[in-house]
Chain A
Amino acid sequence: DTGVSQNPRHKITKRGQNVTFRCDPISEHNRLYWYRQTLGQGPEFLTYFQNEAQLEKSRLLSDRFSAERPKGSFSTLEIQRTEQGDSAMYLCASSFGPEAFFGQGTRLTVV
């Protein structure tokens, strides 16, 4: 296993379109997190899964955002009706203990 994998690496979409990102965590990790990072800022927590259960969602996660982890393995993050303010780097991380390991991120640009 080579680490956390995210696809696609880059996504350019028109405002109003829906987008979906995928995250494949490190295989033995039961915890999976989504973060969002804008330029010049540290990552901000969006949501957390333990196995297939979504246990916490940030207030940053509006109702246009939905995340799933159907079999407790990979996860998807969908953004509906994208807005320019959604442009950011979306980061996925996984962990089994106190250390979280991040993927390379998906850079979303909404035009």
Chain B
Amino acid sequence: TQLLEQSPQFLSIQEGENLTVYCNSSSVFSSLQWYRQEPGEGPVLLVTVVTGGEVKKLKRLTFQFGDARKDSSLHITAAQPGDTGLYLCAGEHGTSYGKLTFGQGTILTVHP
């Protein structure tokens, strides 16, 4: 079983603070995706990273894929209450036809 460990599991911060969520594995992934999920809804894709060392930015969100393609991070600058939600990382192995292995998620709460 290829596991993805996400940390921290819970994060409660004030508006304006910065934060980083980590996603680690002992397995190499061909790609890694980050999703955001709100209660009672399905995950919404934020970004896909495929190249080791790749960095992608989406407004205040910065995603990085580790050089060895075993880990990733999500950094949010100047968090806002609208960023509140469950953040999930999910890795795909090259031979798994797009099957994703998910981390357990990070519940982020941003207080105004």
Contact = CB atoms under 8 A, between A and B. Distances in A.
Contact of A98 (B41, B42, B92): B92
A70 to B, nearest CB: 20
Contacts of A44: 102
A48 B99 contact: yes
- Chain B interface size band reads 20 to 34
A73 interface: no
Contact of A45 (B40, B45, B101): B101
Interface of A: 4, 6, 31, 33, 35, 40-45, 48, 50, 55-56, 91, 93, 95, 98-105, 107
What 3 A-B pairs come out closest when comparing CB atoms?
A: A42-B102, A102-B42, A105-B42
Interface of B: 4, 6, 30-31, 33, 35, 40-45, 48, 50, 88, 90, 92, 96-105
